[in-house]
Amino acid sequence: MGVTHHPGALLLATAFMLPFLPHALRRLLQVFGSFLAIVAAFNLPYGRSFSETFMGLHLVMFHVDWLSHVFGIILALAAFIGCVYAWHLDDRLETPACLVYAGGALGVVYAGDWFTLLFCWEVMALASLVVVWRGGRPGSPSAGLRYVLVHACGGLLFFTGILILYSQTFDLSVRSLVENGTSGVGIAFWFILLGVSINAAIPPFHAWLPDAYPEASVTGTIFLSAFTTKTAVYVLVRVFPGTEILIWAGVVMALYGVVFAVLENDIRRLLAYHIVSQVGYMVVGVGIGTTLSLNGTVSHAFCHILYKSLLLMGAGAVLYSTGRSKLTELGGLGKRMPLVLLLYAVGACSISGVPLFNGFISKSMVISGASQAGWPWVEILLLLASIGTFLHTGLKLLYFTFLGEDCGAEAREIPQNMIIAMGIGATYCTLLGIHPAWLYSRLDWAGGAVYHPFSPDRLIFSIQLLTGTAVGFWVLISKLGGEATVTIDTDWLYRRPLRWAVSWTVVRVADAGLLINMISIVLKNAVWSHLANPVRFLAPLGLHPGGSSYEVAPGEDFDSDRDRFPIAVNILWMLAIAVVALGYLMGVAP
């Protein structure tokens, strides 16, 4: 098996064919190609690899173990669901860009060397930029520009760390950089960690996510939610397990995302902030570094891709149908969109950790991992974040969008493929919640850890927590509605200064260009007019080929045929040069 069986290569091949096909064939191919990627990801055996030597470097472009296997399956499945959701879309650029983006993500998780990983990392950044720009919203161009600038900085940090690491070890294999709980490679460790942290949206490097994702199209946002942050989580699990600073970084993420979701009025920005919050659980699991917590991170990444895409598909259906995305402009849509309401509710139950849905079987594993590893305050803070998640994504967004006072918005019928895609996601969320053994069997339990999510104490505690939150929401419902406000995040720390810096630079460059232009005009008029026509300059002095009787008409340009020296003069110069050169060679010239 070679590169042709790489799930990412299948998506890339599909993407490159799509722009040249008519719409009917494009949508068939995008679904078929992404389905083949799922089949390939399922059938890749552990230990399968593909390597090449390039410029003297041994590159392992493709390697399969338990970690890449699990991430490969869910990323390929996310691409398939996204393609079904985008079935109706007639765009020769957006869907191919989405598939290149997904192919790059799969390239990251199967990469066995740093250079291949970094190349696929940058392919993701460029393709996702196109996805943001194709959003067609007023803020899409500027959000995309900020997005690519942030990711360019992250890529540069990542690349710098890789170069330093290779200069120290001459080893390109992607491996853990943690030795006995500490960094074993010095400054390279921190450069790579910072680069990955930007893609993982760890505060204060997170603002690109809620800034850019809502500016993409309703279909593009589904792809964006699945790949960038989850591939970053994959790299964290692979390279930084047990890095304790990530524990508190993850706790900050979990709480930070929830707090900003409270303040948010736009439903897609609210869900974007909850991506930050949910990835926080995964980062905590990486920081703890035990077998249980790492398996919890991988499980939560798997489940999160499913329920978050389902939630964003529901929000996208609302935006597609009504043209509205503000909580203050929505309400009562459940009567006109009952299937969307039902399927969104499955995602809401999943993200909130309701038993028998997939969020429960993964989030509880991370929290239990914190408890077993002796981090009680981390456990408490993650439970607090869980309450906020249920309060705002599970209850607030659902109620004020679908069940509250009717907003009177006109709702056009949404394409059936959107409902089908949501149904696929909801089915997986439910099946995994009922039968988690399918996912657990693919994890690495080498440390001997065992986890049973449906123990009586966990079920009772979860039901109590959810019931108490629901009662609190009902009591405070009048104060929890959306408000027409603008949320200011850390991106304002660089958005305004960067705008000023760019404007100042442009003005200074323009001034410098004007000065150079003025100087060139002066030189041209004062000097160049004579240099461009040596005959006109030399004629008054009697130094011209035609002798003293030769006259140059005013404004007349130099004519190389008319004004050239006689051929005998050129021959004389050539002979003189040859004699001098020969004299130097013979040693007789001075």
pLDDT at 586: 54
Q: Residue 196: pLDDT band by 50, 70, 90 thresholds?
A: very high
Q: Residue 70: pLDDT band by 50, 70, 90 thresholds?
A: very high
Give mean pLDDT, residues 110-129: 95
If DSSP codes are grouped into helix, strand and coil, which group holds residue 2?
coil
pLDDT at 455: 87
pLDDT digits (tens, 9 = 90+) for 121-179: 999 999 999 999 998 888 899 899 889 999 999 999 999 999 999 988 888 899 999 87
Decide if pLDDT at 588 tops 80.
no
pLDDT digits (tens, 9 = 90+) for 393-450: 888 899 989 988 887 778 889 999 999 999 999 999 999 999 999 999 999 887 666 7
**Residue in 160, 162, 180 with CA at minimum distance from that of residue 171:** 162
48 neighbors 62 (Cβ within 8 angstroms): yes
CA distance 380 to 375: 9
Decide if pLDDT at 2 tops 90.
no
- Distances in Å between the Cα of 125 and the Cα atoms of 122, 134, 198 are 5, 14, 12
Decide if pLDDT at 3 tops 50.
no
pLDDT at 533: 60
Give mean pLDDT, residues 558-568: 62
pLDDT at 540: 60
488 neighbors 266 (Cβ within 8 angstroms): no
246: left (phi over 0), alpha (psi -120 to 50) or beta: alpha
If DSSP codes are grouped into helix, strand and coil, which group holds residue 478?
helix
- DSSP E strand boundaries for 267-350: none
pLDDT at 191: 95
pLDDT digits (tens, 9 = 90+) for 271-295: 999 999 999 999 999 999 999 999 9
pLDDT at 589: 47
- Distances in Å between the Cα of 299 and the Cα atoms of 106, 369, 423, 443, 589 are 17, 13, 21, 8, 87
Give mean pLDDT, residues 486-513: 75
Q: Which two tokens stand for residue 123?
A: 């392919």
AA identity, residue 243: T
Q: Which two tokens stand for residue 502?
A: 């760019």
Q: Which has more pLDDT, 556 or 146?
A: 146
pLDDT digits (tens, 9 = 90+) for 517-537: 787 777 666 665 555 566 565
Decide if pLDDT at 316 tops 90.
yes
Give mean pLDDT, residues 533-558: 55
pLDDT at 563: 59
Decide if pLDDT at 459 tops 70.
yes
> What average pLDDT does the structure give for the chain?
86
Decide if pLDDT at 1 tops 60.
no
CA distance 334 to 330: 11
Q: Which has more pLDDT, 148 or 552?
A: 148
pLDDT at 497: 77
Decide if pLDDT at 542 tops 80.
no
Give mean pLDDT, residues 472-482: 77
Give mean pLDDT, residues 94-109: 96
- What are residue 589's phi and psi, to 5 degrees? -80, 150
> For 80, which DSSP code?
H
In sequence order, the β-bridge partners of residue 63 are: 49
Q: What is the longest distance spanned by two Cα atoms in the chain? A: 117
pLDDT at 585: 54
Give mean pLDDT, residues 365-381: 93
If DSSP codes are grouped into helix, strand and coil, which group holds residue 330?
coil
The DSSP string of 361-386 is HHHHHHHHHHHHTT-HHHHHHHHHHH
CA distance 356 to 429: 9
> Three-state SS across 142-198?
HHHHHHHHHHHHHHHHHHHHHHHHHHHHCCCECCCCEECCEECCCHHHHHHHHHHHH
Decide if pLDDT at 590 tops 50.
no
pTM of the model: 0.84
- Lowest mean pLDDT: which of 42-56, 256-270, 275-289? 42-56
**Residue in 328, 336, 327, 357 with CA at minimum distance from that of residue 345:** 357
CA distance 433 to 427: 10
pLDDT at 548: 45
In this structure, the number of other CB atoms found within 10 A of the CB of residue 324 comes to: 19
Q: At what angle do helices 23-43 and 94-110 cross, to 10 degrees?
A: 10
Helix or strand (DSSP H, E) at 389: helix 376-389
